[in-house]
Chains A and B, each alone.
Chain A
Amino acid sequence: MRHGLIQWDEADLSTESVRARQARLQQALVDEGLDGLLIYTNHVRSAAVTWATGFTPYWSDALWLQPTEGAPLFATALSKRVGNWIAATNPTSEIEHSPKPGGLIGARLTRLGAARLGVVELDRMPAGLMAEVVDTCKAELVDATELFAAVRAAPEAVEAQLAVKAAAIADEALASIPALRTCAGDVMQAVELSARLAGAEEVYVAVAPDLSRDTRFARVKGATPLAARFAIRVTLARHGVWIRRIATFARDHDDGTLAKIATWFDTACLDLAPVSGLANKLSETPLPAGLNLTAWFVEAPAVGRPLQIVGEDGQDLVRTYGMANLTLCLSSNDGPVLLGGPLLTKQTL
């Protein structure tokens, strides 16, 4: 579930910004001859509805319907007792509660006389909820994943600024790791505490405790010993915008090498953008002496998942994203170096 701070903050994301997004979706629906757009959300597949409304459910699930005209309907299985909280954090949608939210959506579509309904990630829709929809409405269902993805990908300053804030929270959390660190619990506790005290909506901390043996990240037990070189991955959200920050550490003392590599990465990210052609640009980016690029991938909130791989070795990005996250795996004589952080389209900054 979501445990962290969830509040509506007009300064971070205004109702005007959200309504502008909804208007862009409505125009796309009209252009495609669709009568509405249906999106599912839970806290795992939250990104599409979060982008369209600013809202993330802490638990349970919901359906969000954007008709071509008028306000959207948010139909949720969350009980009415948390209705005030939902309304406060989802101020642009009409809120309805039911153990069968699909029935509410179907009834609304019937009332609107909808004939063609676009559904985002149709094949991933929950079967039980969709049965409630089709039992109460006769509209033709059309997969609208690409329609949504195209509208959603447009760069926005508001999203970039939230990503910058999220990255700052992650950097502060990584900086809070104590100098004396012998086991994974030492770093996981410090990072978790710092990020949540700074107002992260959610944070996942994973550790690669011994890079000389394994570069994979995991949620290891707190007592797991840290080897001479280890890495931390902080995945966190601020108002629905997710980033991953990855840093490689020397357990005992860094002679400055890892710090210089981290600085190089941050500088390199300023010259890179989540656009088609990134693969070439990355291959042309000079690496610090002694390092080789062994793997890379880019994640973006393309549709429902907050971070989803959209480009990697041998597969360039197919479109421009407003924000994305880059992960690099480098090799050196001293062992692997793992790095990660957000990539932003410059026009949004």
Chain B
Amino acid sequence: MVMGVRTPEQARRHRLAEAMAEAGYKHLVLFGNAWQNDYLRYVADFGILEGEGLALVQSDGSVVLWLDDRLEAERAGVECPDLEVRATNDLIADVSAVIGRLGNARLGFAPHRIMPLGIAGSASPGHDDATALIDRLLMVKAPEELDAIRRAAHLADEGYEVFRNAARIGRKDYELVAETEAFFRANGVDDNFMLIGSGGPELRGMTPPTGRILREGDQVITELTPCVDGYFVQICRTLVLGDPSPAQQGAFDLFHRAMVAGIDAVRPGATAADIARAENDVFRADGLGDFVTSQYTRVRGHGLGLFPDTKPHILEDVETPIEAGMVLIVHPNTYHPDAGYMVLGDSLIVGDDGAEILTRTPRSLFANGGGTAS
């Protein structure tokens, strides 16, 4: 490491120490697992896979990580040699005992929703929910974190190229995932959030692969979210096996205009609602306003970072201000009545002057897994 240059983990711990001091916290207890690992990973740079973990952060910056899976604790010892890791057969009892010895100094827990009852339920006066404090740090990244995300972005593009080349008539959907995952494993991608869908107008969304065999004329949709050194970057694209139909072309044109409108709305001072509204107005102008409601779509984009679906959610009722240093994906993914569910989205960093686009794959409706149709 070059002297004076901090790693993303060092930058995170520095910011957390400042935030704890400002909020008056002496200790934080953070929980995580392979589903929701962002709070834990903010302080303990370990990509947990099996079991669950709790980290105790002290105001002096020291961190102890308890893992309830001995094999994971061994792995953490190899992958994070500077981290103090303790394997435990009784996570709740061991961490509760440590908390009990901390006295009455102010202690915060996060995230509240999934914190084990045995920990949250033993809270005493001076202990409270610190979820909002960590959420704020997770949303607005340090410059070192943004550099890590920039370094990771090319793997989203390369992963999509592998996926696109794997998509052929007669293949099963899980075979596309297999090729993509194998590429990722060989190229330093720790984890990947990935959904897939295939079919025509009956296609209503994305799920894990179901064993469906791809047919001519199918549109194949995916949301790829490789994780490199803890940071997720996402790309959403649609391809067609064969020549895209006029309906598919027309739908893609709509999605493209909506995504561009959303990205153009990204700037510090705007709100998440402003971005969603910009995307949805394009659909409404085409008489397709029903298809931007929760009946057909979940969100119009979301934050990215140590979790693949972090705040803010891009929705018309989310008034979270957009700030420089946020990382977002803008994706107007939804059901289209003529073409079926379609996806298109690019990841970006919010800069002082607007969006810095991270993903470089052409914004095209790809045909047959190679070349482009528009």
Quick one: which of A59, A60, A193, A199 contacts B179, CB cutoff 8 A? A193
Could you say which interface size class chain B belongs to? 35 or more
In the complex formed, the residue of A with least CB distance to B37 is A44
Shortest CB-to-CB span from B160 to chain A, Å, is: 15
Task: Give 10 CB contacts A-B under 8 Å.
Answer: A7-B210, A58-B208, A59-B35, A79-B294, A124-B91, A127-B119, A128-B115, A192-B181, A197-B175, A204-B49
The reply to whether B298 and A81 contact each other, CB–CB distance below 8 Å, is yes
Shortest CB-to-CB span from A295 to chain B, Å, is: 11
Q: Does B187 interact with chain A (Cβ within 8 Å)? A: yes
The reply to whether B117 and A5 contact each other, CB–CB distance below 8 Å, is no
* Chain A residues with CB under 8 A of B74: 216-218
* Chain B residues with CB under 8 A of A85: 205, 207, 210
The reply to whether B178 and A196 contact each other, CB–CB distance below 8 Å, is yes
The reply to whether A188 and B177 contact each other, CB–CB distance below 8 Å, is no
In the complex formed, the residue of A with least CB distance to B180 is A3
Q: Does A335 interact with chain B (Cβ within 8 Å)? A: no
Q: Does B112 interact with chain A (Cβ within 8 Å)? A: yes
Quick one: which of A7, A44, A196, A204 contacts B35, CB cutoff 8 A? A44
**Complex CA–CA separation, A60 to B298 (angstroms):** 14
The reply to whether B34 and A218 contact each other, CB–CB distance below 8 Å, is no
Q: State whether A217 and B116 are in contact (beta carbons under 8 Å apart), knowing that A59-B35, A305-B69, A309-B70 are contacts in the complex.
A: no
In the complex formed, the residue of B with least CB distance to A222 is B186
Q: Does A269 interact with chain B (Cβ within 8 Å)? A: no
Shortest CB-to-CB span from A125 to chain B, Å, is: 5
Quick one: which of B52, B79, B210 contacts A219, CB cutoff 8 A? B79
The reply to whether B115 and A218 contact each other, CB–CB distance below 8 Å, is no
Shortest CB-to-CB span from B181 to chain A, Å, is: 6
Contact with B along A167-210 (1 / 0, CB 8 A): 00000000000000000011011101101110100001110000
The reply to whether B115 and A127 contact each other, CB–CB distance below 8 Å, is yes
Q: State whether A6 and B298 are in contact (beta carbons under 8 Å apart), knowing that A126-B116, A127-B117 are contacts in the complex.
A: no
* Chain B residues with CB under 8 A of A307: 50
Q: Does B182 interact with chain A (Cβ within 8 Å)? A: yes
* Chain B residues with CB under 8 A of A190: 182
* Chain B residues with CB under 8 A of A128: 112-115
The reply to whether A3 and B298 contact each other, CB–CB distance below 8 Å, is no
* Chain B residues with CB under 8 A of A88: 210
Stretch at the interface among B189-197, B245-253, B282-290, B321-329: B189-197
Q: Does A122 interact with chain B (Cβ within 8 Å)? A: yes
In the complex formed, the residue of B with least CB distance to A123 is B118
* Chain A residues with CB under 8 A of B179: 193
Quick one: which of A80, A129, A192 contacts B178, CB cutoff 8 A? A192
Shortest CB-to-CB span from A230 to chain B, Å, is: 14
* Chain B residues with CB under 8 A of A308: 69
The reply to whether A206 and B75 contact each other, CB–CB distance below 8 Å, is yes
**Complex CA–CA separation, A309 to B185 (angstroms):** 27
**Residues of A in contact, count (CB < 8 Å):** 60
Q: Does A282 interact with chain B (Cβ within 8 Å)? A: no
The reply to whether A3 and B208 contact each other, CB–CB distance below 8 Å, is yes
Q: Residue among A130, A196, A297 with the most chain B CB within 10 A? A: A196
The reply to whether B209 and A124 contact each other, CB–CB distance below 8 Å, is no
**Complex CA–CA separation, A6 to B51 (angstroms):** 21
Q: Does A289 interact with chain B (Cβ within 8 Å)? A: no
In the complex formed, the residue of B with least CB distance to A58 is B208
The reply to whether B33 and A305 contact each other, CB–CB distance below 8 Å, is no
Q: State whether A126 and B71 are in contact (beta carbons under 8 Å apart), knowing that A1-B193, A197-B175, A216-B78 are contacts in the complex.
A: no
CB contacts under 8 Å to A, within B295-335, are 295-298
Q: Does A2 interact with chain B (Cβ within 8 Å)? A: yes
Contact with B along A1-20 (1 / 0, CB 8 A): 11111110000000000000
* Chain A residues with CB under 8 A of B89: 309
Q: State whether A123 and B120 are in contact (beta carbons under 8 Å apart), knowing that A216-B78, A219-B79 are contacts in the complex.
A: no
* Chain B residues with CB under 8 A of A5: 174, 208-211
**Complex CA–CA separation, A308 to B87 (angstroms):** 13
Q: State whether A127 and B121 are in contact (beta carbons under 8 Å apart), knowing that A6-B210, A189-B186, A216-B75 are contacts in the complex.
A: yes
The reply to whether B117 and A4 contact each other, CB–CB distance below 8 Å, is no
The reply to whether A44 and B51 contact each other, CB–CB distance below 8 Å, is yes
The reply to whether A84 and B185 contact each other, CB–CB distance below 8 Å, is no
The reply to whether A44 and B208 contact each other, CB–CB distance below 8 Å, is no
Q: Does A281 interact with chain B (Cβ within 8 Å)? A: no
